[in-house]
Amino acid sequence: MAPHEHSHDHEQENEESFGMALGFRIFPYQEELYLAEVEITPYVDEPDALGATLVFHPLAGLNPTTNDEELDWPAYPVDIDDDLTRDPGTAMTEQFQAILRQLSGLSEARLAEYLQQALADAENDEEEA
């Protein structure tokens, strides 16, 4: 798994942090399959704590032999930091393992709730644009 680079707008410009994005579950939602991916990076407001964003990708119509540069893969993110049990005082590796344990315990019903929220957020963003 390759590191996933993120840029965050903090008080200092050009501040970068590194994290990881990994797919952790494929699940059905309204007769379609979705990939649930998590992006884990240092939490914006607490650099000593990790935070997580779920990103959902629909799997319908994907061609696995398509060149990555040609792929226009929809992504529906939702921030789940407030739903995580986090302990910023522990080592990053321990925080990472704690997040993974919490994600592994998510039911399909809970993932569907997060996906509904992500789809609603995307729809609101489109209406505002």
Q: If pLDDT is split at 50, 70 and 90, which confidence band does 68 have?
A: low
Q: If pLDDT is split at 50, 70 and 90, which confidence band does 89 have?
A: confident
The answer for residues whose C-beta is within 8 angstroms of residue 72's C-beta and 6 or more apart is: none
Q: Which pLDDT score is estimated for 67? A: 76
The average pLDDT across 116-125 equals: 95
Angle, alpha carbons 18-88-46 (nearest 5°): 55
Task: Look at residue 2 and tell me whether its pLDDT is greater than 50.
Answer: no
Residue with tokens 């240092």: 42
Model pTM? 0.82
Rounded alpha-carbon distances, angstroms, from residue 122 to 6, 12, 76, 115: 20, 29, 7, 10
Which range scores top for mean pLDDT: 7-11, 25-29, 40-44, 67-71? 25-29
Q: Which pLDDT score is estimated for 129? A: 78
